[in-house]
A and B are shown apart, each in its own frame.
Chain A
Amino acid sequence: MTLTSDNKQTKTDNLITATIDGIQVQVPKGTLIIRAAERMGTFVPRFCDHPALAPVAACRMCLVEIEGMPKPQPSCAIPLTEGMVVKTQMTSKVAEDAQAGVMEFLLINHPLDCPVCDKGGECPLQNQAMTAGRAESRFEIEKRTFPKPIELSTEILLDRERCVECARCTRFSEEIAGDPFIELLERGAKQQVGIATDEPFNSYFSGNTVQICPVGALTSSSYRFRSRPFDLVSVPTTCEHCASGCSLRTDYRRETVMRRLAWEDPEVNEDWNCDKGRFAFTYLKTNRLTQPKVRTKDGTQVDALWPDAIDFAAKGLKEANGKVAVLLGGRLTMEDAYAYSKFARLALGTNDIDFRNRVNSAEELDFLGNFVAGSAGSVTYADLEKAKDVVLVNFEPEEESPIVFLRLRKAVAKSKINIIAIAPYLSRGLEKINAEVVATKPGDEAKVIRGLNIAQESIILVGERAAASPGTLSAVLEAAEKTNSKLSWIPRRAGERGAIEVGALPNLLPGARPVTETSARSEVGAIWGVNASDIPNKPGKNHAEIIQAALNGEVKALIIAGLDVLDSPDPQALGQAINAVDFVITLGIQENSLTRYANVSLPVAPVTEKSGTFINWEGRPRPFGRAISSTNALTDARVLAMLAESLGFEFGLQTIEELRQELSSFGNWTGKKIEKPVVKEVGALETSPSTAILSTWNLLLDDGALQKGEEHLAGTQRTAVAHMSEKTAADHKLENDDKVIISNARGSITIKLEIIEMVNDVVWIPANNHDSKVKSKLGAKEGDIVTIQRGNF
């Protein structure tokens, strides 16, 4: 599991030599003066400048003197050239005066309300006013005032009088996010940031504007007035939401997380993250489980001490007598997932373990085993940036992996890149990356891929929904091979990629080793201190098979961890399975319907209270440390270690160091791989005059469990509407804005219709927004047939 770094040495013939403040500097051609000065340790003050945004030279704070030029020049916009002689404020009175002058201007209309401003203590204006400002104000006329503050969205607030008009926020929104919902309005001294009437700043990336605002003009509703920067302790963390793998900074105070920010990581999230990663952390506050609970004979759940709960659990497992299976969610750290993988084999003697609590298939299992496991670095963010041709299959970058989306957008802005999306329609996110859509009915993906003229050496990105469409993953593999293309599978959840690597699947052992290979088993056995024969040699049951086996009594006990029932491909079936077995152990951070049902419910640590690693979609390890250490919350691995010992197994893994040590000893598997799937395409199902094919995916912001408790963020969700083509709508006698009822034998969803250009005979609805709860209400997946009716008004 190693990654090759993409940083190539800059060639020397691309270097130029110049002088800054009397010191000779050598920098790559094209380096802006402001950055060259930074390299030598001189910070030229700035506001509008941001390394990720195109220079505008608007604020004029960064003026420096350049020999031969009559006027001071903006160092943020001028590249250093061979032989240039630059003097910054360190050596030039001209530059110093110019900067002091601009600073004075910026302060004349500023409210100077630092004591009550969120930015106080971490404010570039405040800091630079100290170094470049005058002690006293000469401004004696009336300051410009605005009624304060205005809501740009439920999440973002604007105090206009604090704004220095640097336009970083508006430029970010347009250039980076592609969401020009905030703009500079008015002119001259009246110029101000704002939104259009009736169109709030509902961008998935809006929080970044708060972070890059160099003053306290933009604040978030959720953090405003809640703490002062100097009271906060910052730790680097990794986002637990999606597989993009953003580096974050978690700021906490008195053991409570107060806010999260994007932490710069040039290879992954650069300077950004999405609003889910930034704001959705309040789930930690509600329904936390802190105490083990066991179900007594009379059926009630009572608090238990850890040793008693562990003993009780061990007893239950023993009674199940080898008929135990493990169902996991996709959000475990790699370390914890590894512990489950080892526990299943060693303590339970089973390969019946599957983390894929979402749409999945046996074909996918082979795909993951054959291609994904051990494929770290097959495609990287840097590759996306350089790509010429990209094919997206069942994958909506903006919704499912926002940083992949941003990187594709960057690539599109930089160069000619052709993005083809196999999707039912051109979504807003796809439109923003200039994608060309091959309008495809769910179910027809494999057929379309086979018929598509994919350019040689493309990059193919396939999303988790491909598992819903038989043959798609087989076709994707075939296409990649045929066109010499790079392929990457991008799951939605942060823990999935790690779970694959550590073998939390029925067909894989840690390090991409097939369970069926003897040498694989003996390599693993050697590390675990057991014989190859102690590890079961047949592929275990997958997610669906485990549920089936539970229903028919083949499985008697379940260990369920990090899993949200509502994420399950069929929550109802999962519920029945849980009902059917004799014994259920759950491990989780929160109390919910599942834990309330468990025979033993064991609390584990949330990401803030432990160290761990997520493997992002690239296969890149994203380790993180513990932010909050005062709680005694245990990791899943620690709990499993206790349980294993109670069952009489030598388990190890007492500390994270020990665990990581053991993990690193696996190395790469060089033996035979799992056979690649060769599954025939089935094709889209037939519709009748009253039915349509369902298409659905999760929007980035939805009613997911980890987004609970953050109403400001929820307010920026996209409104839930159904989409159909004009023809399909007409077939069902529906018009724009009609209410449409989408139903199956399980239930129905009523939702407003918005007709768009899309493939016929398909209805699209969001998977989990407002009333559009596809899994709980329909138990359906993409490609299923649903009945369409016109709703009442």
Chain B
Amino acid sequence: MSIRAITEEDIKNLEILAAKYPERRSALLPMLHYVQSIQGMVSPAGIQTCAKVLDLTPAEVAAVATFYTMFKRFPMGKHHIGVCTNTLCALLGGDELWKELTDTLGIGHDETTVEGLFTIERIECQAACTVAPVVTVNWEFMDSMTPKSLRELIEKLKLGAPVQSTRGVQITSISDSERLLAGFNDGKYSDSPLADDSMLAGLRVAKQRNMSAPAGKGVK
């Protein structure tokens, strides 16, 4: 796997990010997301580049890059798959899902399959406990997974078949997700499905049981 070099165009994009903030250094996390989107990792060259753009030392950038779990110091595969193994998800099935995933792909935490398609990670609570157990593909959520649905997911991804995230967009690559996280809006905000059962659970009960907030003077 060769890491793509950082181009003049990339530097321009990094400059765009830096210009968004009252103090340029604030753009460091977005910039590292950007580096990750083009290199599949935060490489030493990526660190050097960010340091140069922000007038920091490479050590200062490395200090930041190594602090955050999402930044990887090894080349990721095309898809990043996370399985939440924090307590609630783990107990409700996350541990099984993790076992299923490692067995299927034959790799472990923070490892990449040889053909470079998948990197897998045990991840912490994703703020999706109501749809546990949760799996993420390129950080797009796959809610309420089962070993069977996970196997099917992997198969589809291997085949390049379309996969729709239950809360997010159709799966493309970790690179696309990272670009969004850097701050470059992909405009796909309405591609996500509507509010799901768990999000609507309370509203439905309220409607069934005729419950509502007291009437206010406002229109809400």
Of B20-28, B54-62, B105-113, B160-168, the segment with at least 4 beta carbons within 8 Å of chain A is: B54-62
Instruction: Let me know if A186 and B44 touch, CB within 8 A.
Output: no
| Known contacts A196-B47, A197-B47, A198-B44; A180 and B67 CB within 8 A of each other | no
Residues of A within 8 A of B61 (CB): 196
Instruction: Let me know if B58 and A185 touch, CB within 8 A.
Output: no
Instruction: Let me know if A185 and B62 touch, CB within 8 A.
Output: yes
Alpha-carbon distance between A181 and B51 when the two chains are bound, in angstroms: 12
Instruction: Let me know if B59 and A183 touch, CB within 8 A.
Output: yes
Instruction: Let me know if B62 and A196 touch, CB within 8 A.
Output: yes
Interface of A is mostly: loop
Interface string of B39-55 (1 = CB under 8 A from A): 00000100110010000
Instruction: Let me know if B57 and A199 touch, CB within 8 A.
Output: yes
Interface size class of B (residues with CB under 8 A): 10 to 19
Interface string of B109-122 (1 = CB under 8 A from A): 00000000000000
Residues of B within 8 A of A196 (CB): 44, 47-48, 51, 57-59, 61-62
Residues of A within 8 A of B60 (CB): 180, 183
Instruction: Let me know if B66 and A182 touch, CB within 8 A.
Output: no
With CB as the reference atom, state the residue of chain B lying closest to A199.
B58
Residues of B within 8 A of A194 (CB): 59, 62
Instruction: Let me know if A180 and B57 touch, CB within 8 A.
Output: yes
Minimum distance in angstroms from A431 CB to a CB of chain B: 9
Instruction: Let me know if A187 and B66 touch, CB within 8 A.
Output: yes
Q: Is B206 an interface residue (CB 8 A)?
A: no
Residues of B within 8 A of A186 (CB): 66-67
Q: Is B6 an interface residue (CB 8 A)?
A: no
Interface string of B171-200 (1 = CB under 8 A from A): 000000000000000000000000000000
Alpha-carbon distance between A184 and B65 when the two chains are bound, in angstroms: 11
Alpha-carbon distance between A107 and B2 when the two chains are bound, in angstroms: 43
Instruction: Let me know if A181 and B57 touch, CB within 8 A.
Output: yes
Q: Is A195 an interface residue (CB 8 A)?
A: yes
Interface string of A563-598 (1 = CB under 8 A from B): 000000000000000000000000000000000000
Alpha-carbon distance between A187 and B67 when the two chains are bound, in angstroms: 5
With CB as the reference atom, state the residue of chain B lying closest to A190.
B66
Residues of A within 8 A of B203 (CB): none
Residues of A within 8 A of B69 (CB): 187
Instruction: Let me know if B63 and A183 touch, CB within 8 A.
Output: yes
Instruction: Let me know if A195 and B66 touch, CB within 8 A.
Output: no
Alpha-carbon distance between A186 and B62 when the two chains are bound, in angstroms: 9
Instruction: Let me know if B57 and A185 touch, CB within 8 A.
Output: no
Alpha-carbon distance between A199 and B68 when the two chains are bound, in angstroms: 21
Residues of A within 8 A of B56 (CB): 180
Selected contact of A181 from candidates B44, B59, B67, B68, CB within 8 Å: B59
Instruction: Let me know if B63 and A197 touch, CB within 8 A.
Output: no
Instruction: Let me know if B59 and A182 touch, CB within 8 A.
Output: yes
Alpha-carbon distance between A184 and B62 when the two chains are bound, in angstroms: 9
Alpha-carbon distance between A187 and B69 when the two chains are bound, in angstroms: 9
Residues of B within 8 A of A197 (CB): 44, 47, 58, 62
Alpha-carbon distance between A182 and B57 when the two chains are bound, in angstroms: 9
Instruction: Let me know if B59 and A195 touch, CB within 8 A.
Output: yes
With CB as the reference atom, state the residue of chain B lying closest to A201.
B59
Which chain A residues numbered 166 to 192 have a C-beta less than 8 Å away from chain B? 179-187
Minimum distance in angstroms from A58 CB to a CB of chain B: 15
Alpha-carbon distance between A182 and B59 when the two chains are bound, in angstroms: 6
With CB as the reference atom, state the residue of chain A lying closest to B61.
A196
| Known contacts A197-B58, A199-B57, A199-B58; A185 and B63 CB within 8 A of each other | yes
Alpha-carbon distance between A502 and B118 when the two chains are bound, in angstroms: 77
Interface string of A180-221 (1 = CB under 8 A from B): 111111110000001111110000000000000000000000
Minimum distance in angstroms from B72 CB to a CB of chain A: 13
Minimum distance in angstroms from B160 CB to a CB of chain A: 35
Minimum distance in angstroms from A180 CB to a CB of chain B: 5
Which chain A residues numbered 416 to 465 have a C-beta less than 8 Å away from chain B? none
Instruction: Let me know if B67 and A199 touch, CB within 8 A.
Output: no
With CB as the reference atom, state the residue of chain B lying closest to A173.
B59
Residues of A within 8 A of B47 (CB): 196-197
Alpha-carbon distance between A182 and B51 when the two chains are bound, in angstroms: 14
Alpha-carbon distance between A106 and B169 when the two chains are bound, in angstroms: 47
Residues of B within 8 A of A184 (CB): 63
Instruction: Let me know if B58 and A198 touch, CB within 8 A.
Output: yes
Residues of B within 8 A of A199 (CB): 57-59
Minimum distance in angstroms from A286 CB to a CB of chain B: 35
Interface string of A335-379 (1 = CB under 8 A from B): 000000000000000000000000000000000000000000000
Minimum distance in angstroms from B159 CB to a CB of chain A: 37
Q: Which of A186, A195, A196, A197 has the most CB of B within 10 A?
A: A196
Minimum distance in angstroms from B47 CB to a CB of chain A: 6
Instruction: Let me know if A183 and B62 touch, CB within 8 A.
Output: yes
Alpha-carbon distance between A246 and B125 when the two chains are bound, in angstroms: 54
Residues of B within 8 A of A181 (CB): 57, 59
With CB as the reference atom, state the residue of chain A lying closest to B57.
A180
Alpha-carbon distance between A197 and B58 when the two chains are bound, in angstroms: 8
Residues of A within 8 A of B44 (CB): 196-198
Minimum distance in angstroms from B193 CB to a CB of chain A: 34
Instruction: Let me know if A180 and B66 touch, CB within 8 A.
Output: no
Minimum distance in angstroms from A487 CB to a CB of chain B: 33
Minimum distance in angstroms from A206 CB to a CB of chain B: 13
Alpha-carbon distance between A185 and B59 when the two chains are bound, in angstroms: 9
With CB as the reference atom, state the residue of chain A lying closest to B67.
A187
Alpha-carbon distance between A186 and B67 when the two chains are bound, in angstroms: 5
With CB as the reference atom, state the residue of chain A lying closest to B45.
A197
With CB as the reference atom, state the residue of chain A lying closest to B62.
A196
Residues of A within 8 A of B58 (CB): 196-199
Q: Chain B: residues with CB nearer than 8 A to chain A? A: 44, 47-48, 51, 56-63, 66-69
Q: Chain A: residues with CB nearer than 8 A to chain B? A: 179-187, 194-199
Q: A179-B57, A180-B60, A194-B59 are in contact. List 14 more A-B contacts (CB 8 A).
A: A180-B59, A182-B59, A183-B60, A183-B63, A184-B63, A185-B62, A185-B63, A187-B69, A194-B62, A196-B47, A196-B51, A199-B57, A199-B58, A199-B59
18 CB-based A-B contacts, threshold 8 Å: A182-B59, A183-B60, A183-B62, A183-B63, A184-B63, A186-B67, A187-B67, A187-B68, A194-B59, A194-B62, A195-B59, A196-B48, A196-B51, A196-B59, A196-B62, A198-B48, A199-B57, A199-B59
Q: Which 4 A-B pairs have the closest CB atoms?
A: A196-B58, A183-B63, A197-B44, A196-B62
